[in-house]
Structure 1
Amino acid sequence: MNQIFSKLLYNLFLAFCITILFVMIEQSYRMYNDILMFNLTLRSFFEQFMIHLFIISIVSRRAVLIVYFILALLVWFQLAHFAYFGTWIFPLEYYLFFTKFQETYDTFRTVLTIAIVPTVLFILLILSIHFLLKKRHDDNRLKVKFLSLFLIAFIIFVPLRVYVKDSKKGHRPNVEYYPIKNSIVNLGYLFGNILPKKISGHSGLEQPITPTPELLVKTPNINVVMIMGESLNRNFMSLYGYNVKTTPFLDSLKDNEHFIYKQGIASGVVTDVAVPSFFNIIKRPDGVPQIISTNTCLFKMAKNNGFQTYFYSSQAQDQLAQLKSYMCTKWIDNYKDGTTVTHSIDTPALDQFLIDQIDTIDFSKPTFLALQQRASHTPFIDTFPKEFELFTKQNNEESVLQNTIDYQNSIHYTDYILSQLIKKIEDKTDRPTYFIFTSDHASNVGDPNRNGHGRLDYDAIYQVPFFVYGINNAKSIKKKFSEFPYISHYQMGNVVSHLLGYKEAYNHFNKKEDYFVCDSDISGLSGILKLSFDEENKQIPTLIK
């Protein structure tokens, strides 16, 4: 009995040491990388410890070493992938690795330097584990018979569970997960969802990958400021005729010759779909292959044409965990999120944070600045300071819900933020500057039975604002817009691409054509809405299941 207890303690010691090794490898790389952040928690440490305790207790030392070599290799792939793309690996990319091996190889051999740090860490990890598992000390381990069978069962169970569940919501890598967890979940989704669909041929949503648009103007001497609102329904903005003056600043620009606004249609009904679709100029689902290619990523296009690039978000680190996987962060020079000021991974900052960050920007050369707001996300009352509680029960119609009043105040706060951003940037630079504004999606407000977003069957959820405003003698682009009152996220992305110096897709940005709105999964597996327009420009929605 004492011998068993002694061997158990030895297993616990080995599992603890190996957990420390994996944690050190990950967290040191997080501190080395500008996009990742130190995120060790007691829960993630315990999860990893239990995984390693299980592996250490397998009877065969050779099997243990093989398992650890595979795990270390998976970690290497994740780190090397992040070094190039700024994301953990998508499940689809394992599939593309084999089906597009030559393209992968051709790309990788041109950027071998990115693998130096991951490779050094990989070697240190393997050598350390091999040292801990010396053959002469193998008799000290507690070896549990048939444990390897449980490991095999687990390997089968993960994809089988995904297959049986047949979730319509695809998996996205989570930046805050440790590499082993991301690898296990990704491979489970690959074998349980993607491969069965590929083999059966029942997916059929993948769109052809389009190349980067032709470059027409080398490093235009302008600034482009892309502001992405949050959950903003244009029907509650006085700019669009709402009967409460929620947007006084934008109202004042309505007749300005440098101000163009249209009725926007979002590309998705959740942030994690709409924002990546916008910044990668995705026309319709499935846009994941296009995103992985980075051909039309606005940050990459800006960086490759001489712009310095920024992405500042009021959203918290944890709220951006999955979204960042689609944003080609490799080409973002400066990145900050709300956690910078709240010091909490799940607490966003107020949008004043974005105004404050303007002081940190060097406008000495052409700049592409992307700003992501937090207002007007639920709960609306938490997205604006108390002093912006302009609308109340007393100055609203009696039937108006308090939640709607809070939403009005959040929009008024957004209007203030926009005014201050424009004023501050105007004071900072005399270079022609274009402001492009929209929202990721809208929100269903005023319905006592259904608020919020995330559903295609509520048309209010994809009705977003859009405007372009030029300052400092920016050349007018009004002639590039038609009389058609709508514009899709895809077409807005073309506006930004054009300003960055690339060839536009249309003679007019807001072409009358079918628009596509994706549900909660960017691959389209959870549903797609096709939005057509009749002769009177009335929206005709058709749900594609």
Structure 2
Amino acid sequence: MLFSTVSLFSKSKQFKIFILIIQSFYLIHFIFISYFGNQIQYTDIYLFFTHITETFESVATLYDITFYPLLMVSTTSFIIMYIRYEKSKIPTFLLSAFLLFSLLFQDKMYDASLSLIKESVKSIFLKKEKGDIQKSDDKNRVPLHKTDNNIILVIGESMRSRENLKERYEIFENYTYKTIASGATNTDVAVPMLINGGISPQKINLEHNLFLLAKKNGYKTSFITAQNEKSLKYIEPYLHREHIDDFKILGSRNDKDLIHNLQNISLEDNNLIVLQMQGEHSPYIYYENYNRDDSIELRYHKSMNYSNAVLKQLIEHVHNQSKKHFIFIFLSDHGEFIGENGKTGHNRFEKEIYSVPLVLHSNLETHAQKLKNHNDIYELIYYYLGYAKEFKLQERDKIRVYGTMITEEDGYIDIDM
């Protein structure tokens, strides 16, 4: 395709610029393939532009992933700029036909630049609106009885489940642990579904919001995140902020700050506390004394050690300071690839992504054996907030995991129990 284009436009003054634009498409696509291990899709293009800061933060540290695509494209571009092309002797209509043939049979040819153009066009027609945030039904939902406890939910970021880690970590060994399924493969979908008990991204109902339900039954509510405002942009509309007494966006990206903020909350009251960690967010440098020259695997391991230490202190504080019944729940929003089969990152329907860790510590019944996914955690908190007489989950054969789009445009998968 590149050869026929050069031949067709070789006498045009603008042809070199055109070819360089095509080369820039190759560069973007080759870096994407090097990072994720597969070709780019229209939903990835949408996520790139909506999370552009995070994208560049991640790519900037991945020298080994960006080096070869950059070298290849730079060499090709250099040749294009300094070699003089003569007009092809092949008839123009044949070259034009070949170009058209290339475009029509793109799916068979797997040309990276053409694929990126096609997926970019498809991304333009994505639904840009948020999910169907409902507020109409169940307005009279009231607690069945008063409860007297502290509920602490800690949401990790991109932490893999124990089965998908080479090393052993104390937090998984010394507390009640199991692997469960995430609600989605992306934070912007998984967290809204978790907080609101959504059975799908398009059926999120704010009348089911945990902070709202907690306030109705006399709880003090807190949401504290170590992440920054940009990371929270697509989550905040689903938090029902008006029902959160203590709402803090720390923006420090240092999870130890969550410890200090938790220590400032009186556990003598009934509390629903949700803490969001920076955790293992790419490029895996949010821990003390990080080294950008370390490999991806080593940086991830060090960030896991840091999260392990923070979680241990959070659990110990709740265990020692809560004078009433408490339940401490830690889970991750989704998992992560860290180099397996040439893949890095998340946003994919793979077991390494939708399998997430669950850690429980409580002087109440945790019902750990029944918990299978994020929605079950919502039901557990719903029960301890006083809205159910007993903890009971619906029988099912499969668990549904959604993708990266709140509009559900990239679909879902059903996994066997």
TM-score scaled to structure 1, two decimals?
0.50
Alpha-carbon distance in structure 2 between the residues aligned to 1:481 and 1:244: 24
Aligned to 1:244: 167
Instruction: Tell me how far 1:489 sits from its aligned partner.
Output: 1.0
Instruction: Tell me how far 1:221 sits from its aligned partner.
Output: 1.1
Alpha-carbon distance in structure 2 between the residues aligned to 1:507 and 1:326: 25
Alpha-carbon distance in structure 2 between the residues aligned to 1:164 and 1:419: 46
Give yes or no for contact 1:279–1:297 (8 Å, CA) kept in 2. Answer: yes
Question: What's the Cα RMSD here?
Answer: 3.1
Aligned to 2:300: 407
| 1:492 to 2:415 alignment | no
Alpha-carbon distance in structure 2 between the residues aligned to 1:521 and 1:249: 31
The CA deviation string for residues 330-355 of structure 1, in whole angstroms up to 9 with x for no partner, is 1100011123xx4xxxxxx2100100
The CA deviation string for residues 38-61 of structure 1, in whole angstroms up to 9 with x for no partner, is xxxxxxxxxxxxxxxxxxxxxxxx
| 1:231 to 2:119 alignment | no
Aligned to 1:475: 364
- The one-letter code sitting in structure 1 at the alignment partner of 2:218 is G
| 1:452 to 2:369 alignment | no
| 1:326 to 2:238 alignment | yes
| 1:216 to 2:144 alignment | yes
Give yes or no for contact 1:301–1:500 (8 Å, CA) kept in 2. Answer: yes
Structure 1 residues 249 and 322, CA gap change in structure 2 (3 angstroms)? closer
| 1:276 to 2:192 alignment | yes
Structure 1 residues 513 and 327, CA gap change in structure 2 (3 angstroms)? farther
Instruction: Tell me how far 1:307 sits from its aligned partner.
Output: 0.5
Q: Which one scores higher on RCO, CA 8 angstroms, separation ≥ 6?
A: 2
Correspondences of 1:387-536 after superposition (within 5 Å): 402-447=295-340, 449-456=342-349, 458-470=350-362, 474-478=363-367, 481-482=369-370, 487-503=372-388, 507-508=392-393, 511-533=395-417
Alpha-carbon distance in structure 1 between the residues aligned to 2:269 and 2:361: 20
SS at match of 1:295: helix
Number of equivalenced pairs? 296
Alpha-carbon distance in structure 1 between the residues aligned to 2:220 and 2:134: 30
The CA deviation string for residues 47-104 of structure 1, in whole angstroms up to 9 with x for no partner, is xxxxxxxxxxxxxxxxxxxxxxxxxxxxxxxxxxxxxxxxxxxxxxxxxxxxxxxxxx
The CA deviation string for residues 147-172 of structure 1, in whole angstroms up to 9 with x for no partner, is xxxxxxxxxxxxxxx99865335334
Instruction: Tell me how far 1:512 sits from its aligned partner.
Output: 4.1
Q: Which structure 2 residue ranges, 5 or more long, are not aligned?
A: 1-119
Correspondences of 1:145-224 after superposition (within 5 Å): 167-168=125-126, 170-172=128-130, 211=138, 215-218=143-146, 220-224=147-151
SS at match of 2:337: coil
Correspondences of 1:287-298 after superposition (within 5 Å): 287=203, 290-291=204-205, 294-298=206-210
Q: Percent identity?
A: 23
Give yes or no for contact 1:169–1:526 (8 Å, CA) kept in 2. Answer: no
Give yes or no for contact 1:271–1:441 (8 Å, CA) kept in 2. Answer: yes
Aligned to 1:49: none
| 1:379 to 2:264 alignment | no
SS at match of 1:384: coil
TM-score scaled to structure 2, two decimals?
0.64
SS at match of 2:180: strand
Instruction: Tell me how far 1:422 sits from its aligned partner.
Output: 1.3
Alpha-carbon distance in structure 2 between the residues aligned to 1:284 and 1:316: 26
Instruction: Tell me how far 1:305 sits from its aligned partner.
Output: 0.8
Alpha-carbon distance in structure 1 between the residues aligned to 2:338 and 2:164: 16
SS at match of 1:171: coil
- The one-letter code sitting in structure 2 at the alignment partner of 1:529 is I
Give yes or no for contact 2:221–2:245 (8 Å, CA) kept in 1. Answer: yes
The CA deviation string for residues 283-340 of structure 1, in whole angstroms up to 9 with x for no partner, is 22422xx33xx1210111111111100001010112112210111111100011123x
